[in-house]
Amino acid sequence: MAQSRRLVVAALVSLLCLSTGTAQELRDLFKRVDPAVVEVLTTAAGRDTPSGIGSGFLVSPDGLVITAAHVVQTADRVTVRFLSGESSPATRLAADPRADVALLKVDQVPPGTPVLPLGDSDRVEVGDEVLVIGAPMGMSHTLSVGHVSARRATRALHGGLEPVDLLQTDAAINRGNSGGPMLDTKGEVVGVVSHIVSVSGGSEGLGFVVSSNLARRVLLEEPTLWTGMSGFLLEGELARVFNLPQAAGILVQGVAAGSPAARMGLRAGSIPARVGEEELLLGGDVILSVMGIPVGQPDSAPRIRSAVATARDDILAVEVLRAGTAVRLEGSVTGRTP
């Protein structure tokens, strides 16, 4: 009996020591990586002060910051604020709305600010412990801890054209977390926070992040042009409802001032409407082809991305359906604005 009691006490002491050690490790890890996490402030047309907020993280000492594409894609201006309170204007270098990731370049980085390494998301397994740091509901540098719940591949991400590699997590994620890092216990980024699935509008344990390997490929290895446009893929029944002359098109939802999309004259929708389960802005252009490649063909997405990246004379050409008429638009992809 005495021997059994001693074994129980020893087990409890070991568990307590393990919990205390784990908590200390978590505190140390947070202190080490948090200064690399930033707030991403966006300003809409006609406003002088920021009207939107997201999160991001520094990935190079010279000022490269990764965030979510939907946070910055159609904003007129973007500002990054560091833990120290210092702010810097940011230029959008690349963005992939399909994958919901974007790359920013800030003018100044506070001395001593660390960077976060991108880890190998292919090694992440369901059940792994992860940390999310960001600005949920505008409350900056908030930590939440959870686990990887599943791996998903979906085409539904923001009306995208291609499958996207997502990690699902039960770590608390709310509005404002978008673009922030999801880290493993080594402090390496394994995902970029994208969105939540929620009935209440708050965190319900269904958070989704874009894998770090996909973010690395479309932002650093094969950068995707920032166009300054957000759109929604119309296909199937929706393509028929919009009376498209082909199987699919991209309904333009927003255009950033001074962006390549704005320079070529793309028009965004302005009439709110609910079509099925989707809330869309109607009345804008529908993109039918990019660089002569029709939208919606089995291999159109990678072909379009490649054609845009190698556009001759930096001229981007699209064909749009505008008020029932096909119109060709051209514009320069150079002269990007912040």
Per cent of the chain over pLDDT 70 is 85
Residue 313's Cβ-count burial label (10 Å; 0-12, 13-18, 19+) is: exposed
- The Cα 314–Cα 284 span in angstroms is 25
Our measurement of the distance from residue 74's CA atom to the centroid of its chain's CA atoms, rounded to an integer in Å, reads 13
Return the pLDDT at 14. 45
Return the pLDDT at 256. 93
Instruction: Dump pLDDT digits (tens) for 61-120.
Output: 999 999 999 999 999 999 999 999 999 999 999 999 888 999 999 999 999 999 999 999
In sequence order, the 6+-apart residues with CB closer than 8 A to the CB of 18 are none
- Whether 147 is catalytic: no
CATH match of 121-220 with 2.40.10.10: yes
Extents of the domains making up the chain: 121-220, 229-332
Asked whether residue 31 carries a pLDDT value surpassing 70, the answer given is yes
Asked whether residue 13 carries a pLDDT value surpassing 50, the answer given is no
State the residue for tokens 């020893």. 10
**Weakest-pLDDT range from 137-141, 175-179, 327-331:** 137-141
Joined tokens for residue 34: 């948090």
Domains 121-220 and 229-332 share a fold: no
Joined tokens for residue 295: 């939208």
Q: Which of 76, 96, 100, 170 is catalytic?
A: 100
Q: Which of 55, 140, 149, 178 is catalytic?
A: 178
Confidence class of residue 46 from pLDDT cuts 50, 70 and 90?
low
Return the pLDDT at 18. 42
- The Cα 123–Cα 190 span in angstroms is 9
Joined tokens for residue 241: 């409802």
Q: Are residues 256 and 287 in contact, defined by beta-carbon separation less than 8 angstroms?
A: no
Give φ, ψ of 180 to 5 degrees.
Answer: -75, 165
State the residue for tokens 């978590």. 26
Q: Residue 66 forms beta bridges with which residues?
A: 57, 103
Per cent of the chain over pLDDT 90 is 62
Instruction: Dump pLDDT digits (tens) for 250-295.
Output: 999 999 988 999 999 999 999 999 887 788 999 999 999 999 999 9
- Whether 203 is catalytic: no
- The Cα 265–Cα 79 span in angstroms is 25
Instruction: Dump pLDDT digits (tens) for 151-192.
Output: 887 654 444 545 688 999 999 888 889 999 999 999 999 999
Give which of 101, 118, 228 is closest to 160, Cα–Cα: 101
DSSP string of 81-104, one letter each residue: E-TTS-EEEEEEEEEETTTTEEEE
- Whether 128 is catalytic: no
* CATH T-level assignment (fold) for domain 229-332: Pdz3 Domain (2.30.42)
Instruction: Dump pLDDT digits (tens) for 288-303.
Output: 999 999 998 888 888 8
